[in-house]
Amino acid sequence: MRARHLIPAALTACLVVTTAVTAQADDVPGDSARVRITGELIRTSVEQRGDQQWSAVRVGNQLVPVAGAALEHSPEHATVTVDVKVPQSVVADAHRADLQDASDSTPATTSSTLGAASTAVATAPGTDPLEVTQLVAAQEARAATYAPATRQITYVEVTPRGMTREATTLTPATRQVAASDAYWREQSRSELRIGVPTILKHYTSAFSCDDDPMKLWNEAIARTGWQWRDNRSLVLKLPSAASASCGYGLGTLGDNPNSPGVLHVADIAAPVLAHELGHNMAFGHANRLVCTSQPDAQYDTRTDWWTTCDEAEYGDSLDIMGPSFDAAMPMLSTPQALRHGLLPPAAAVRLGSGTTQVTLAPLSGGEGTRAAVISNLNTGVTYWVEYRTPTGRDANNPSRQDAGVRVLRTSPWSGSVLLDPTPTGTLDNQTALRVGQTFASHDGRVTVTTESADAGSAVVQVVNTSRLGSFTRSASPRISGTPRVGQTLTASTGTWSPTPSRYTYRWKRNGANISGATQRTYTPTTADAGRRISVRVEVTRTGYATASSTSASVGVPIHSTQRPYLKGTTRAGQTLTVMVGAWTPKPSTYTYKWYRDGVAKTGQTAKTYTLNNGDKGKRVHAKVTVRRSGSATGSMTTLRRTVAR
């Protein structure tokens, strides 16, 4: 959390890309010089759309700050390989040969002179992050499940450059961590615990709040010896004056509740630490959809909502991942708690099509059915319905946001989005679905009505009329290419209506799946020799039932693992014999044909051939054709031999 107050989100998102210095004509090699970095992509939370999201590639225990649009669609904690531009200050000091070696086609490594110098510049005070010019590869992060664990906390008081120290003593620091521990234990049935902090000696940083926070954290990692390992967080306690510039709190986003992370807070209060630890453990912000006339909208891209709706950061104050107050630590809302496994599956009921009546227990009660989960099959949007009452952790409600039945969903840039049943275009406290009120999804296929509510439960009626559409196939997939061991085969997609948004492929050998063969192309191996190959194409699109079709099969010929060869003396009057070599699978019959200078010799189909005067000075060879019941016929020629004159 970068700011403490609720501010409407900007309409569009952007990623910061450092501006490149224009190179002179004689500096072309330097202008194109690149360094290739491989490591884990680390990001901070996004405070609001259009706000800065800080990124770094973790190489070992070092965070290398990076920026660029090429990173836009890479998930947090993915293992990435990126090419970055060599900073101009490094170019000015480098040898031309080094720059030439680091051109686009052959980027330098991080361990090279250019790589080390570029990293040193990116991690120094007052410099820009390295500009990513290409995302070379990205490997997905882990699934969001977790194992019960105690998170180790390394806690250090840090004074940013140019600020006055605000000393933090052991007692309030320990109390802050202990309160966060109590919160996350409660949210996770005591499976996620925050350990007693190891508190280290204060230091003054070489970095100010004007610097990239990754640099501040990188320095702390180096000074404290903290190791980037699961279930560990490095906490920097900054002076309260840093709130305006460094942010009230800011942390790295994990991909899993066991993920390691780094964070800083500018307060000794527990809620802000619990919130930032939530980011380390993969929880996004609790936001709110603000619309002028409808409670729900379509999310078209990673950057915007359709119609006149906007997503306001920290808009859900009944969630720890919403705004931070001095003491309030409300419940984690059901979308994030269920998606990350903090609520047991029995706490939620998943509803299908039709009309269903559900009795919801208060979320803060800790037992019973606490969420109804509805999937709109036509739009692909999932809705969560929960009941919040002013009890337990939800009793402290400083913003006075309505408790009651709430409907939530998610968006790509946050953890949860609270939907407003009384849209006015502004942030107000009327966020609960009162008795008799009905929420409707933006396409009208899902409605939620509160029928009754008291201190013990709420009864809601859910109507889901969404139905999956069906694909129509007008042409089946087919295989192109030469069906032979070592030759690449390519699958066509077939022709479908409507046009699918995604195709997946599964290659088969004699009808059984081939392990790992899930790309559009496949190159047969010796295991495919004598077998028939087909491919199943599966198509998907939001709002449509998944469909598939399998191509006609093609036969891969019996394969020669040892080429046939000729045995005998190549002289007129001498007899040559064809040695069949080795094949897979083993043939049941062999046939032969003899050739002179590439032309078949009439009637010469025996395993042996006696050379005559007409063969003198000519080149002879034989073709062996093999057959086996149920297998495609295979053939292979011997090498050509020249007959002596």
> Considering the domain boundaries, does residue 20 fall inside one?
no
The per-residue pLDDT for 264 is 97
Q: Please say if the pLDDT value at position 27 is more than 70.
A: no
Encode pLDDT of 527-570 as tens digits: 999 999 999 999 999 889 999 999 999 999 999 999 999 999 99
Amino acid in the structure at residue 618: K
Note the maximum CA span of the chain. 110
Reported as type and span, the H/E element at residue 555 is strand 554-555
324 and 395: one domain? yes
* C-alpha distance from residue 124 to each of 18, 117, 207, 454 (Å): 15, 11, 8, 58
Which residues are CB-contacts of 293 (< 8 A; sequence separation ≥ 6)? 308, 423
Encode pLDDT of 558-613 as tens digits: 999 999 999 999 999 999 999 999 999 999 999 999 999 999 999 999 999 999 99
Question: What is the pTM assigned to this prediction?
Answer: 0.77
41 and 66: one domain? yes
Instruction: Check if the beta carbon of residue 393 is closer than 8 Å to that of residue 330.
Output: yes
Overall number of domains in the chain: 5
Task: Please compute the mean of the pLDDT values over residues 413-438 and round it to a whole number.
Answer: 93
Amino acid in the structure at residue 29: P
> Considering the domain boundaries, does residue 13 fall inside one?
no
Owning domain of residue 37: 25-139
Q: State how beta strands 149-159 and 198-204 pair.
A: parallel
What 3-state DSSP class applies to 271?
helix
Q: Which residues of 529-540 are buried (b: 16+ CB within 10 A; e: fewer)?
A: bbbbbbbbbebe
Amino acid in the structure at residue 275: H
The per-residue pLDDT for 3 is 39
The per-residue pLDDT for 519 is 95
Q: In this structure, what token pair is assigned to residue 507?
A: 């290659």
Q: Please say if the pLDDT value at position 458 is more than 80.
A: yes
> Considering the domain boundaries, does residue 177 fall inside one?
yes
Encode pLDDT of 78-122 as tens digits: 899 999 999 999 888 877 667 776 776 789 899 998 999 999 999
> Considering the domain boundaries, does residue 459 fall inside one?
yes
The per-residue pLDDT for 49 is 56
Task: Please compute the mean of the pLDDT values over residues 493-522 and round it to a whole number.
Answer: 96
- Alpha-carbon span 488 to 479, nearest angstrom: 10
End-of-domain residue from the set 109, 139, 169:
139
309 and 443: one domain? yes
Could you tell me the end-to-end alpha-carbon distance of the chain, in angstroms, rounded to an integer? 90
Q: Please say if the pLDDT value at position 2 is more than 60.
A: no
* C-alpha distance from residue 522 to each of 500, 508, 515, 633 (Å): 22, 10, 11, 21
End-of-domain residue from the set 139, 165, 184:
139
> Considering the domain boundaries, does residue 319 fall inside one?
yes
291 and 435: one domain? yes
Phi, psi of 534 (to 5 degrees): -135, 170
The per-residue pLDDT for 18 is 30
441 and 489: one domain? no
Instruction: Check if the beta carbon of residue 121 is closer than 8 Å to that of residue 89.
Output: yes
Question: Can you state the angle between helices 270-280 and 170-187, rounded to 10 degrees?
Answer: 60
483 and 528: one domain? yes
End-of-domain residue from the set 446, 463, 480:
463
Task: Please compute the mean of the pLDDT values over residues 2-14 and round it to a whole number.
Answer: 31
Encode pLDDT of 163-196 as tens digits: 999 999 999 999 999 999 999 999 999 999 999 9
239 and 350: one domain? no
Task: Please compute the mean of the pLDDT values over residues 476-487 and round it to a whole number.
Answer: 95
Reported as type and span, the H/E element at residue 176 is helix 170-187
407 and 272: one domain? no
- Alpha-carbon span 174 to 137, nearest angstrom: 42
Instruction: Check if the beta carbon of residue 101 is closer than 8 Å to that of residue 108.
Output: yes
Encode pLDDT of 328-358 as tens digits: 999 999 999 998 889 998 999 999 999 999 9
194 and 304: one domain? no
Q: Please say if the pLDDT value at position 5 is more than 60.
A: no
> Considering the domain boundaries, does residue 144 fall inside one?
no
Q: What proportion of the chain, given as a percentage, has pLDDT over 70?
A: 93
Task: Please compute the mean of the pLDDT values over residues 248-269 and round it to a whole number.
Answer: 95
Task: Please compute the mean of the pLDDT values over residues 235-248 and round it to a whole number.
Answer: 95
What 3-state DSSP class applies to 371?
strand
340 and 369: one domain? yes
Cα 284-84-96 angle, rounded to 5 deg: 165
Q: In this structure, what token pair is assigned to residue 83?
A: 């090419």
Q: Please say if the pLDDT value at position 634 is more than 80.
A: yes
**The CATH number of the domain where 612 resides is what?**
2.60.40.2700
Q: Please say if the pLDDT value at position 22 is more than 50.
A: no
The residue behind tokens 């072309």 is 28
Give CA 507 to chain center in angstroms. 25
Burial class (CB in 10 A: 0-12, 13-18, 19+), 573: exposed
299 and 425: one domain? yes
The per-residue pLDDT for 287 is 94
The DSSP line for 74-110 is PPTT-EEEEEEEPPHHHHHHS-HHHHHHTSTTSPEET
> Considering the domain boundaries, does residue 170 fall inside one?
yes
CA dihedral 94, 102, 79, 305 (to 10 degrees): 90
> Considering the domain boundaries, does residue 8 fall inside one?
no
Reported as type and span, the H/E element at residue 278 is helix 270-280
The per-residue pLDDT for 47 is 62
575 and 507: one domain? no
The per-residue pLDDT for 1 is 55
pLDDT band at 72 (very low <50, low <70, confident <90, very high): confident
- Alpha-carbon span 584 to 561, nearest angstrom: 7
Encode pLDDT of 112-150 as tens digits: 989 999 999 999 999 999 999 999 988 876 666 789 999
The per-residue pLDDT for 276 is 97
Average pLDDT, the chain: 90
Q: Please say if the pLDDT value at position 15 is more than 70.
A: no
Instruction: Check if the beta carbon of residue 171 is closer than 8 Å to that of residue 107.
Output: no
Cα 290-296-297 angle, rounded to 5 deg: 90
The per-residue pLDDT for 21 is 31
**The CATH number of the domain where 47 resides is what?**
2.40.50
- Alpha-carbon span 208 to 63, nearest angstrom: 17
* C-alpha distance from residue 592 to each of 577, 606, 619, 638 (Å): 11, 6, 17, 11
